[in-house]
């Protein structure tokens, strides 16, 4: 299974939800309606896939989301390891559950970048852990938004 990277067109507007799935927590980020800037939104606990899909569905409705972008941790070689396959499974479930577009986006290194950025700002690793996933989602989503400007 490969990561589906789909161009949505520069002229499309509407908020995008970035999803960084993790084993324990799922980080979420939101874009502005012009799809220019991504900001960390919140973290949801990953109790099970059904609960995550329902929670994302609720947020899509509450926040007027028009596109969901799920981070897929593709390996350096471009292969999909176990975590990438789990992310792609979430993409598939969200496509079945939501009435909007859902796509996977290569999120290599976003957690490391977010961790480095937060460690420079804060000393408490306990406090950092809670924000890491949402910040990683924002970095991944910003990468996607920047790709729209290049196309």
Tokens (6 digits) for 115: 């961790």
For the segment 44-83, what is each residue's pLDDT rounded down to a tens digit? Answer: 999 999 999 999 999 999 999 999 999 999 877 778 888 8
Phi, psi of 144 (to 5 degrees): -60, -45
Band the pLDDT of 11: cuts 50, 70, 90. Answer: very low
Residue 51's pLDDT is: 97
- The residue written with tokens 């874009």 in the block is 31
Q: What angle do CA 49, 12, 98 make, to 5 degrees?
A: 25
Sequence-ordered alpha helix ranges (H) in the chain: 49-62, 82-97, 110-121, 125-150
Q: Phi-psi region for residue 11, left (φ > 0), alpha (ψ -120 to 50) or beta?
A: alpha
CATH class of 15-150: alpha beta
pTM (predicted TM-score): 0.82
Tokens (6 digits) for 114: 């977010």
Q: Quick one: which of 120, 149, 150 has its CA closest to 135?
A: 120
- What residues does each domain of the chain span? 15-150
Tokens (6 digits) for 141: 């989503």
């Amino acid at each position: 299974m490969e990561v589906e990277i789909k161009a949505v067109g520069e002229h499309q507007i509407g908020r995008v939800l970035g999803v960084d799935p993790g084993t324990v927590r799922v980080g979420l980020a939101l874009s502005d309606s012009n799809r220019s800037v991504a900001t960390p939104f919140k973290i949801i606990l990953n109790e099970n896939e059904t609960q995550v899909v329902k929670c994302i569905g609720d947020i899509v409705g509450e926040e007027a989301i028009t596109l969901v972008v799920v981070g897929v941790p593709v390996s350096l070689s471009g292969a999909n390891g176990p975590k990438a396959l789990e992310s792609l499974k979430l993409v598939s479930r969200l496509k079945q559950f939501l009435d909007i577009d859902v796509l996977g986006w290569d999120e290599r290194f976003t957690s490391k970048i977010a961790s480095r950025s937060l460690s420079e700002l804060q000393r408490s690793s306990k406090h950092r852990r809670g924000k890491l996933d949402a910040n990683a989602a924002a970095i991944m989503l910003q990468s996607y938004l920047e790709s729209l400007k290049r196309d």
